[in-house]
């Protein structure tokens, strides 16, 4: 073969090798799996105790093809009796104003790094008769903190579900007033890089039929909340910003009180259940979520720490200073003297190993508010 022919052949072979190498190098970048979108549900007990609308929403997302998602939060799932990604930031009794003033969100964001935030917050602020302007100022600070964590954060803010407790005749109107102020606040705070979408959870929600205690959603309420979050969230996941809804003007539907609170302070480490049921065991932590002169909010955090599923649980303790429970939720509470017994309700009794739930209460105290030693029994 002549030299020009050999040179031409080598040149052609070299070109082929370069092209093949380019294909091999480029291929991984096209086939690399995208990181899951991290979604934080931020709120109070409506979101986290147990907040089973999150389970309903997650399963609907999975069944409709939105599988590359990761629900994030520093709090674990609270039962709900259905498999789901339950990480969340639903802190029972918390006020938006306290979260903002105490910069609590900053730590939650740094620990979880969300891309999308669903925020149903403000119920306890309204219950505490804080003006809408003060609550929305707190919302603004929270949004600023979200954007400091992720400049492209997509934020979904709820018009909160209604309430109209018998002990607060003004609360129903306060919710309407607060909700009506949200769209204008959102319009002034939204940006192209980090859009704010208002999700109307108020319209069509009836506390007489959609809650089990007048404030926390039952199965019907969970379904309604999930249905309202779904289109806005899927639009955010698809890169579309839906238009914000108009303000509601209908009369408020009845509800029941949430719980006022301040910063949480854990009280007792988990107490295991007594032996007896082979493989069945549960532990409980008694927590003072918030305290004020003459009253406080408590929570019993129950976990199945056994090796087999349990179908129910019971927590028993004795108050050391004569405290008296006046209201409870997520548990069947009876008090005789200083002795308190709390049984699971229908939806939070079945717990797989490692799963947990919580029951809350309001109580009064005089002189001292000592911490009892609770005992959990797995049923």
Q: List the domain boundaries for the chain.
A: 37-237, 265-378
DSSP, collapsed to helix, strand or coil, labels residue 182 as helix
Buried b (16+ CB within 10 A) or exposed e, 37-47: bbbbbbbbbbb
Whole-angstrom distance, CA of residue 299 vs CA of residue 285: 8
DSSP, collapsed to helix, strand or coil, labels residue 268 as coil
Window from 93-102, 219-228, 245-254, 264-273 with minimum mean pLDDT: 245-254
Give the per-residue pLDDT at 6. Answer: 45
Give the per-residue pLDDT at 81. Answer: 82
Give the per-residue pLDDT at 172. Answer: 83
- Select the CATH number that applies to the domain covering 265-378 from these four: 3.30.1330.10, 2.60.40.290, 3.30.460.10, 2.60.120.460: 2.60.40.290
Whole-angstrom distance, CA of residue 214 vs CA of residue 255: 4
Same fold, 37-237 and 265-378: no
Instruction: Give DSSP secondary structure letters for 210-249.
Output: HBSSSSSB-HHHHHHHHHHHHHHHHHHHTT--PPPPPPP-
Instruction: Give DSSP secondary structure letters for 72-140.
Output: E-SB-----SS-----BEE-TT--HHHHHHTTHHHHHHHHH--SEEEEE--HHHHHTT--HHHHHHHHH
Q: Which helix (H) or strand (E) holds 53?
A: helix 53-63
| Confidence band, pLDDT 50/70/90 cuts, at residue 243 | very low
State the number of CA atoms in the 13 A half-sphere of 141 facing the CB. Answer: 16
Residues 118 and 42 sit within 8 Å (Cβ to Cβ): yes
Q: What is the pLDDT of residues 130-142, one digit of tens each?
A: 999 999 999 999 9
Q: What is the pLDDT of residues 152-168, one digit of tens each?
A: 999 999 999 998 777 77
Give the per-residue pLDDT at 98. Answer: 96
Dihedral, 59, 65, 67, 72 alpha carbons, nearest 10: -60
Give the per-residue pLDDT at 239. Answer: 72
Phi-psi region of 95 (alpha: psi -120 to 50; beta: other; left: phi over 0): beta
Strand-pairing partners, residue 343, are 314, 332
Whole-angstrom distance, CA of residue 363 vs CA of residue 326: 5
Identify the CATH class of 37-237: alpha beta
> What percent of the chain has a predicted confidence (pLDDT) above 90?
58
Report which of residues 145 and 290 the model is more confident about: 145
């Amino acid at each position: 073969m002549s030299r020009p022919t050999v040179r031409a052949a080598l040149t052609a072979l070299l070109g082929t090798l370069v092209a093949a190498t380019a294909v091999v190098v480029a291929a991984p970048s096209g086939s690399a799996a995208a990181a899951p979108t991290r979604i934080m549900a931020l709120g109070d007990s409506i979101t986290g105790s147990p907040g089973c609308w999150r389970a309903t929403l997650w399963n609907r997302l999975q069944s409709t093809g939105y599988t590359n998602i990761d629900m994030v939060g520093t709090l674990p799932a609270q039962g709900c009796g259905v498999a789901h990604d339950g990480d969340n930031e639903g802190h029972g009794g918390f006020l938006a104003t306290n979260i903002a003033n105490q910069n609590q969100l900053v730590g939650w964001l740094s620990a979880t790094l969300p891309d999308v935030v669903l925020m149903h917050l403000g119920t306890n602020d309204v219950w505490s008769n804080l003006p809408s302007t003060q609550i929305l100022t707190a919302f603004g600070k929270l949004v600023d903190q979200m954007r400091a964590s992720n400049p492209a954060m997509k934020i979904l803010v709820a018009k909160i579900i209604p309430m109209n407790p018998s002990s607060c005749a003004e609360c129903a109107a306060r919710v309407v007033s607060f909700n009506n102020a949200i769209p204008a606040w959102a319009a002034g705070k939204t940006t192209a890089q980090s859009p704010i979408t208002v999700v109307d959870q108020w319209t069509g929600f009836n506390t007489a039929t959609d809650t089990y205690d007048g404030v926390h959603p039952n199965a019907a309420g969970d379904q309604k909340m999930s249905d309202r979050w779904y289109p806005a969230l899927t639009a955010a996941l698809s890169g579309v910003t839906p238009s914000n809804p108009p303000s509601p003007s209908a009369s408020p539907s009845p509800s029941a009180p949430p719980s006022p609170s301040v910063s949480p302070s854990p009280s007792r480490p988990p107490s295991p259940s007594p032996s007896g049921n082979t493989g069945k065991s549960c532990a409980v932590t008694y927590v003072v979520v918030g305290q004020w002169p003459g009253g406080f909010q408590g929570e019993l955090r129950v976990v199945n720490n056994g090796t087999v599923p349990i179908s129910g649980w019971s927590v028993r303790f004795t108050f050391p200073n004569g405290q008296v429970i006046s209201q409870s939720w997520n548990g069947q509470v009876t008090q005789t003297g200083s002795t308190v017994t709390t049984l699971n309700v229908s939806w939070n009794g079945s717990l797989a190993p490692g799963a947990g739930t919580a029951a809350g209460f309001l109580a009064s105290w005089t002189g001292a508010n000592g911490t009892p030693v609770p005992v959990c029994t797995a049923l």
